[in-house]
């Protein structure tokens, strides 16, 4: 019996160590003069900022972008102290304790993101001992519609529906050029953010249908998670083999399977979050060639600017900031591949749509659940779906 | 909808979805027949997948990649063999620990080689070739089904034949079955049950390695963290439903593959909530396991009835507590082995 326990113990320990080894971020700088018990004082005149990553670096999109922005900030502002803490995606139970630990240390600004960090942060900032700390949460609002209840937290959200809209326009224009009757949206799982992308995409297709008197349909499908890339490939292949020649996949890692499908069938795909063409341009040119453009969400730039605002004392709290095309935080990539695939006329059209979104002339409906009911969303999904 | 179910695409894509499940199921089959529950197939597959694809990329050779994937699969199995056969741990518990290890280890390998933690898509592997036979592959349905398949499709067919022959017609097979059915009885006739179990686990590792290689070197040409996505476990369920027969296991693995593909493909032909479609493979797994449990209970009941006189005799002896009993068994086993050795 002892032996059994011993071996299990060893195996588990080895596993934990390895996982922990992977989870070590390469954050710059020291944690500051904090101690694990009690709350460290902030009056040392040095700006310290921590970014908590509740996911894995190396996703080539969301988290890498955040990491890049903060690393750049550290480089441009050597007098500050930036700490990046990678908490991993496998164990959500460490999020709250890491957040508390970080708040105990001498960080002036603590940045975290996504809906998973909302509740831990809500609980933390209610404690008076952290009242001198400032927080930023991105890609969600600290509490839906109630940012003002949290006077030390700045919330940032992105209008991914506008990005989806641009993807929809590009997909429709290219589908028309290729004489395909349908286009498609593939999501990871149907969460709030992905639904927002989808709702924007479908509105983009509808707009092109209306303006260019086309009758394009748009499938929508979900992989079920963000990691099953073989399934992503199967799904995309299914569409490409029927009557789709351009699709938009917002599925993180699983979406890379969709790119693989596009490569094999020689069809087109629109990337998401970061410029996926640039990522593959050198290492896998055949994969890069099928990526028409990518809808980018500039998380890194957003964090960089927020830190600068903090230093200048102009960052506001207890409020929600929504960033989109007009702020240059959501957009599409106009690169060589885009130029070689899409006609000049269509490119001009896309640029015009982007300008109209920025100026407010085109208003893209949000797919977030607080703005759109499930019925309304389903109706929109079904309206263009050729499978219906 | 009906058209979709009976289409050529459905048939062929289901086979593609079934292949990794099939390898996992075969892996489970051979270890189960030897009486070891290996739930680490999932982990073995992911470690094999990452090793295979990376070697294939850097050596620019799919054969070398495949070999390394298989070796990695065997190595993971040997870890289980080491802990459960040598150190006598509970194979189920060490399997859980090894799965946890594999999750981190696969990403660790990826990170230490490429410096990324998500996927190796920027370092595409040299793919395992397809076996395309000219002219024959243009035959409708059958052509796509048989004559334009991944090499690993044929390896899977071979594995089914091989496993049947191994279990039914060879000495090793007889030893494996004997060990699985009753290790004490097997040991009493001079079978080194530990060696037999280790051999079965090695074969299990080879098969799991092939499954991992199929995902990262044939269907996709890169590894991404979490890409095995439960296929190893579904394979175990398919094996359970197949009740130890390679051909039945193959049938159920195909069925699981078909359900898996249906969950994906149906989204393109009918607007049905995907959440419900996605539960189908798991729902089927649960149904499979219930059927398995019922059949197993019925079998055990029958076996008990057949063994009644023997049983009564045993009951006459005072029963030691369960833990002690296993320890006693282990002692007996070692004694037996000693006596065989001497």
Taking the C-alpha atoms of residue A287 and residue A257, their distance in angstroms, rounded to an integer, is 11
Taking the C-alpha atoms of residue A164 and residue A200, their distance in angstroms, rounded to an integer, is 4
B281 touches chain A (CB under 8 A): no
What's the rounded mean pLDDT across residues B88-110? 94
Whether B267 contacts B277, CB under 8 Å: yes
The order of strands in the sheet holding A217-222 is A217-222, A182-187, A244-250, A268-273, A291-297, A330-332
In tens, the pLDDT along A234-269 reads 999 999 998 999 999 999 889 999 999 999 999 999
User: What are the backbone dihedrals phi and psi of residue B124, each rounded to the nearest 5 degrees, phi first?
Assistant: -65, 140
CA-based nearest distance B89→chain A, Å: 4
Find the CB nearest B269 among A12, A22, A387: A387
pLDDT of residue A79: 93
Residue B244: pLDDT band with limits 50, 70, 90: confident
Return the higher-pLDDT residue of A16 and A115: A115
Whether B116 contacts B53, CB under 8 Å: no
The mean of the pLDDT values for chain B is 87
What's the rounded mean pLDDT across residues A214-230? 92
Whether A167 contacts A208, CB under 8 Å: no
In tens, the pLDDT along B196-218 reads 999 999 999 999 999 999 999 99
Which residues in B lie closer than 8 A to residue A284 (C-beta atoms)?
A: 121-122, 124
Token pair belonging to A299: 């998380």
Find the CB nearest B118 among A60, A221, A280: A60
Which residues in B lie closer than 8 A to residue A234 (C-beta atoms)?
A: 13, 16-17, 261, 264-265
Its ipTM equals 0.82
Return the top range by mean pLDDT from A14-18, A249-253, B337-341: A249-253
- Cα dihedral B263, B268, B273, B274 sign: positive
Token pair belonging to A292: 């028409």
In tens, the pLDDT along A76-98 reads 999 999 999 999 877 889 999 99
Residue B337: pLDDT band with limits 50, 70, 90: low
- Cα dihedral B318, B319, B321, B324 sign: positive
- In this structure, of A10-14, A45-49, A153-157, A333-337, the range with the lowest mean pLDDT score is A10-14
Whether B259 contacts B281, CB under 8 Å: yes
pLDDT above 80 (res B231): yes
DSSP of A272-322:
EES-HHHHHTTT-HHHHTTEEEEEEE-HHHHHHHHHHHHHHT----SEEEE
Residue A178: pLDDT band with limits 50, 70, 90: very high
Token pair belonging to A125: 């900032």
Residue B288: pLDDT band with limits 50, 70, 90: confident
DSSP secondary structure letter of residue B82:
I
- In this structure, of B74-88, B120-134, B280-294, the range with the lowest mean pLDDT score is B280-294
In tens, the pLDDT along A30-44 reads 344 444 447 888 877
Which of B 162-181 lie inside 8 A of A, CB atoms? none
CA-based nearest distance B58→chain A, Å: 13
pLDDT of residue B141: 77
Find the CB nearest A260 among B83, B94, B220: B220
pLDDT above 50 (res B252): yes
CA-based nearest distance B270→chain A, Å: 5
Which residues in A lie closer than 8 A to residue B119 (C-beta atoms)?
A: 58, 229, 253, 256
> What is B2-275's CATH number?
1.10.3470
pLDDT of residue B40: 95
Residue B307: pLDDT band with limits 50, 70, 90: confident
pLDDT of residue A41: 84
Find the CB nearest A7 among B20, B94, B124: B94
What's the rounded mean pLDDT across residues B243-268? 90
- In this structure, of B11-15, B116-120, B163-167, B318-322, the range with the lowest mean pLDDT score is B318-322
Which runs of consecutive H residues, i.e. helices, occur in A189-266?
192-211, 229-241, 252-265
- Cβ-count burial A288-305 (b if 16+ within 10 Å, e if not): bbbbbbbbbbbbbbbbbb
Q: What is the largest CA-CA distance in chain A?
A: 76
Residue A13: pLDDT band with limits 50, 70, 90: low
DSSP secondary structure letter of residue A85:
E
Taking the C-alpha atoms of residue A20 and residue B222, their distance in angstroms, rounded to an integer, is 24
Q: Which residue in the block uniquely carries the two structure tokens 């051909």?
A: B247
pLDDT above 80 (res B324): no
User: What are the backbone dihedrals phi and psi of residue A361, each rounded to the nearest 5 degrees, phi first?
Assistant: -65, -40
- In angstroms, what is the C-alpha Rg of chain A? 22
Any bridge partners for residue A272, and if so which?
A295
pLDDT above 50 (res A148): yes
pLDDT of residue A1: 52
CA distances, B266 to each of A238, A261, B3, B8, B59 (Å): 10, 18, 11, 14, 39
CA-based nearest distance A371→chain B, Å: 21
What's the rounded mean pLDDT across residues A193-218? 95
Other beta carbons less than 10 A from residue A34's beta carbon:
19
DSSP of B234-280:
HHHHHHHHHTT-HHHHHHHHHHHHHHHHHHHHHHHHS---HHHHHHH
Which residues in B lie closer than 8 A to residue A8 (C-beta atoms)?
A: 89-90, 93-94, 97
In tens, the pLDDT along B60-76 reads 999 999 999 999 999 99
In tens, the pLDDT along B111-155 reads 999 988 888 988 989 999 998 888 888 888 788 788 888 999 999
Q: Which residue in the block uniquely carries the two structure tokens 């686990």?
A: B201
Share of chain B above pLDDT 70, in %: 89
pLDDT above 90 (res B96): yes
pLDDT above 60 (res B320): no
Q: Which residues have a Cβ under 8 Å from the Cβ of B295 and sit 6 or more positions away?
A: B243
Which residues in A lie closer than 8 A to residue B276 (C-beta atoms)?
A: none
B107 touches chain A (CB under 8 A): yes
CA distances, A35 to each of A26, A31, A96, A104, A106 (Å): 21, 10, 17, 7, 9
Any bridge partners for residue A111, and if so which?
A51, A136
User: Where in the sequence of chain B do the CATH 1.10.3470 domains occur?
Assistant: 2-275
User: What are the backbone dihedrals phi and psi of residue A271, each rounded to the nearest 5 degrees, phi first?
Assistant: -80, 175
Taking the C-alpha atoms of residue A56 and residue A21, their distance in angstroms, rounded to an integer, is 13
Q: What angle do the packed helices A62-76 and A299-312 form, to 10 degrees?
A: 40
Which residues in A lie closer than 8 A to residue B127 (C-beta atoms)?
A: none
Closest C-alpha among B274, B220, B231, B276 to residue B256: B231
CA atoms lying within 13 Å on the CB side of residue B66: 16
Structural domains for chain A: 5-158 (3.40.50.2300), 160-296+331-384 (3.40.50.2300)
CB contact under 8 A, B274 and A228: no
Any bridge partners for residue A323, and if so which?
A158
pLDDT of residue B309: 57
Taking the C-alpha atoms of residue A98 and residue A5, their distance in angstroms, rounded to an integer, is 29
The mean of the pLDDT values for chain A is 89
B283 touches chain A (CB under 8 A): no
Token pair belonging to B72: 């990695």
Token pair belonging to A213: 């008197």
pLDDT of residue A203: 97
CA distances, A93 to each of A22, A96, A334, B295 (Å): 17, 7, 41, 40
B7 touches chain A (CB under 8 A): no
Token pair belonging to B197: 């179990």
Token pair belonging to B261: 């593909």
Closest C-alpha among A379, A370, A381 to residue A145: A370
Residue A233: pLDDT band with limits 50, 70, 90: very high
Residue B51: pLDDT band with limits 50, 70, 90: very high
In tens, the pLDDT along A265-311 reads 999 999 998 889 998 999 899 999 999 999 999 999 999 999 999 99
- Distance of alpha carbon B33 from its chain centroid, rounded? 12
pLDDT of residue A34: 41
Is the pTM above the cut of 0.95? no
pLDDT above 60 (res A9): no
């Amino acid at each position: 019996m002892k032996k059994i326990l011993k071996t299990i113990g060893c195996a588990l320990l080895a596993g934990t160590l390895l996982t922990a080894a992977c989870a070590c971020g390469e954050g710059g700088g020291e944690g500051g003069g904090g101690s694990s018990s009690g709350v460290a004082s902030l009056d040392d005149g040095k700006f310290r900022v921590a970014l908590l990553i509740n996911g894995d670096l190396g996703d080539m999109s969301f988290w890498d972008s955040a990491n890049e922005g903060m690393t750049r900030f550290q480089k441009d502002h050597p007098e500050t102290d930036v700490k990046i803490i990678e908490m991993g995606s496998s164990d959500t139970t460490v999020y709250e304790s890491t957040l508390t630990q970080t708040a105990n240390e001498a960080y002036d600004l603590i940045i975290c993101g996504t809906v998973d960090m909302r509740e831990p942060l809500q609980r933390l900032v209610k404690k008076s001992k952290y009242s001198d700390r400032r927080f930023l949460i991105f890609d969600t609002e600290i509490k839906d519609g109630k940012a003002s209840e949290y006077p030390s937290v700045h919330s940032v959200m992105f209008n991914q529906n506008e990005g989806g809209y641009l993807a929809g326009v590009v997909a429709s224009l290219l589908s028309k050029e290729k004489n395909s009757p349908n286009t498609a949206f593939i999501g990871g799982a149907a969460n709030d953010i992905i639904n927002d992308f989808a709702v924007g995409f479908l509105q983009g297709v509808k707009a092109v249908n209306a303006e260019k008197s086309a009758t394009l349909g748009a499938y929508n499908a979900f992989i079920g998670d963000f990691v099953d890339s073989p399934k992503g490939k199967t799904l995309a292949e299914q569409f490409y083999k029927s009557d789709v020649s351009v699709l938009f996949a917002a599925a993180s890692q699983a979406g890379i399977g969709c790119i693989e499908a596009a490569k094999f069938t020689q069809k087109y795909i629109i990337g998401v979050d970061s410029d996926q063409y640039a990522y593959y341009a050198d290492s896998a040119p055949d994969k890069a060639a099928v990526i028409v453009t990518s809808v980018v969400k500039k998380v890194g730039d957003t964090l960089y600017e927020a830190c600068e605002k903090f230093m200048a004392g102009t960052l506001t709290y207890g409020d929600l900031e929504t960033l989109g095309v007009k702020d240059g935080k959501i957009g599409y990539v106009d690169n060589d591949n885009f130029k070689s695939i899409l006609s000049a006329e269509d490119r001009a059209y896309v640029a015009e749509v982007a300008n109209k979104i920025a100026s407010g002339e085109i208003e893209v409906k949000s797919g977030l659940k607080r703005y759109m009911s499930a019925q309304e969303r389903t109706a929109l999904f079904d309206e263009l779906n050729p499978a219906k | 909808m009906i058209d979709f179910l009976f289409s050529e695409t459905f048939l062929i894509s289901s086979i593609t979805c079934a292949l990794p499940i099939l390898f996992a199921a075969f892996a489970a089959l051979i270890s189960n027949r030897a009486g070891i529950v290996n739930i680490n197939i999932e982990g073995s597959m992911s470690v094999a997948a990452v090793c295979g694809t990376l070697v294939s990329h850097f050596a620019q050779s799919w054969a070398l990649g495949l070999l390394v994937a298989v070796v990695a699969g065997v190595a993971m199995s040997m870890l289980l063999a080491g802990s459960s056969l040598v150190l006598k741990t509970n194979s189920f518990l060490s399997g859980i620990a090894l799965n946890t290890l594999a999750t981190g280890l696969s990403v660790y390998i990826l990170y230490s080689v490429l410096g990324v933690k998500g996927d190796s898509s920027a370092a595409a592997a040299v793919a395992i070739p397809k076996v395309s036979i000219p002219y024959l592959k243009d035959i409708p349905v059958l052509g796509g089904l048989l004559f334009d398949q991944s090499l690993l499709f044929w390896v899977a067919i071979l594995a089914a034949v091989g496993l049947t022959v191994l279990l039914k017609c060879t000495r090793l097979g007889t030893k494996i079955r004997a060990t699985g059915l009753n290790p004490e009885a097997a040991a009493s006739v001079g079978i080194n049950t530990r060696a037999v179990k280790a051999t079965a686990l090695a074969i299990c590792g080879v098969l799991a390695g092939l499954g991992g290689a199929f995902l990262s070197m044939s269907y996709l040409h890169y590894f991404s963290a979490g890409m095995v996505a439960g296929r190893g476990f579904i394979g175990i369920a398919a094996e359970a439903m197949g009740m130890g027969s390679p051909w039945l296991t193959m049938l159920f693995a195909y069925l699981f593959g078909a359900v898996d593909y249906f969950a994906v493909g149906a989204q393109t032909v009918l607007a049905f909530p995907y959440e419900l479609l996605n539960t189908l493979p798991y729902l089927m797994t649960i149904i499979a396991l219930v059927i398995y449990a019922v059949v197993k209970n019925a079998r055990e009941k029958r076996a008990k009835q057949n063994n009644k006189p023997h049983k009564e005799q045993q009951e006459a002896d005072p029963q030691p507590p369960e833990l002690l009993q296993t320890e006693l068994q282990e002692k007996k086993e070692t004694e037996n082995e000693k006596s065989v050795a001497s």
